[in-house]
Amino acid sequence: MIDFTGCILIDARCAGSRLPRQLAIVAPMALAEAASLSLRIIDDTGDPRLPRIARRCGARLISVPPAPLGQRLNDAIARCSGEVLVFPGIGNATGAEALLALANEVAAGECDAALLPDLHRGPLQRLLARIRRLPRGKGLCLSRSWFERIGGCDPALEDGAPDELLERLRSCGARIRPGDP
């Protein structure tokens, strides 16, 4: 393990009612004594429950004006520090250890970005995810330098912002580690 800093960013609006489960997966990294990744909850909803939820899981709440997801991510990233950015796609975060291992790979320069493993691998799991209306989109871990190099997220995009960011990373020649073995 190398010494680095980074941010895990979770958008409250996208997570919706799944936010507590998502936080339960990634909060152990923010609460660990030697935490190199800080947890940030992006909020444009003004939900009065969010400050309490953020405190409970050791996260910092970043309030941003209502805007599409791409703009919310750009605003939040401008207000946090760290050389590694982690966007755990809703339902894709496998666990704190897996996220930390991927963040270490990116920080060490083994890759420029890494896709988080997709938990909906088989046809039945994908169908159930669609029926339950789980948000689509892969989780992504990338270096801040690549995020800035390609100009961040498209501020006009909502649901497709992370996928479009990934496509631009690919087209610019970033070394991307696949999420599934």
Predicted model pTM: 0.84
User: Is 114 within the bounds of a domain?
Assistant: yes
Residues with Cβ within 8 Å of 136's Cβ and at least 6 positions away in sequence, in order, are 89, 159, 163
User: Is 51 within the bounds of a domain?
Assistant: yes
Average pLDDT rounded to a whole number, residues 82-97: 74
User: Is 60 within the bounds of a domain?
Assistant: yes
Helices (H), the chain: 12-15, 19-31, 50-56, 69-78, 96-107, 123-131, 144-149, 161-171
Contact 120, 81 (CB under 8 A): no
Q: How many CB atoms lie within 10 A of CB 98?
A: 16
- More confident site: 89 or 85: 85
Residue 143 belongs to a domain with what CATH number?
Answer: 3.90.550.10
User: Is 151 within the bounds of a domain?
Assistant: yes
Question: pLDDT tens digit string along 25-76?
Answer: 888 776 665 567 889 999 999 999 999 999 998 899 999 999 999 999 999 9
Instruction: Please tell me the total count of domains within the chain.
Output: 1
User: Is 181 within the bounds of a domain?
Assistant: no
Phi-psi region of 137 (alpha: psi -120 to 50; beta: other; left: phi over 0): left
User: Is 179 within the bounds of a domain?
Assistant: no
Average pLDDT rounded to a whole number, residues 74-82: 94
User: Is 180 within the bounds of a domain?
Assistant: no
The length of the chain is: 181
Name 61's bridge partners: 41
Q: Which domain holds residue 31?
A: 6-173
Question: pLDDT tens digit string along 119-176?
Answer: 555 566 556 555 544 444 567 899 999 999 999 999 999 878 888 999 999 999 999 9
- Alpha-carbon distance of 114 to 133, in angstroms, equals 25
User: Is 88 within the bounds of a domain?
Assistant: yes
Q: Please report which confidence band the pLDDT of residue 115 belongs to, taking 50, 70 and 90 as the band edges.
A: confident
- More confident site: 31 or 11: 11
Tokens encoding 86: 């982690």
Q: Provide the pLDDT for residue 134.
A: 43
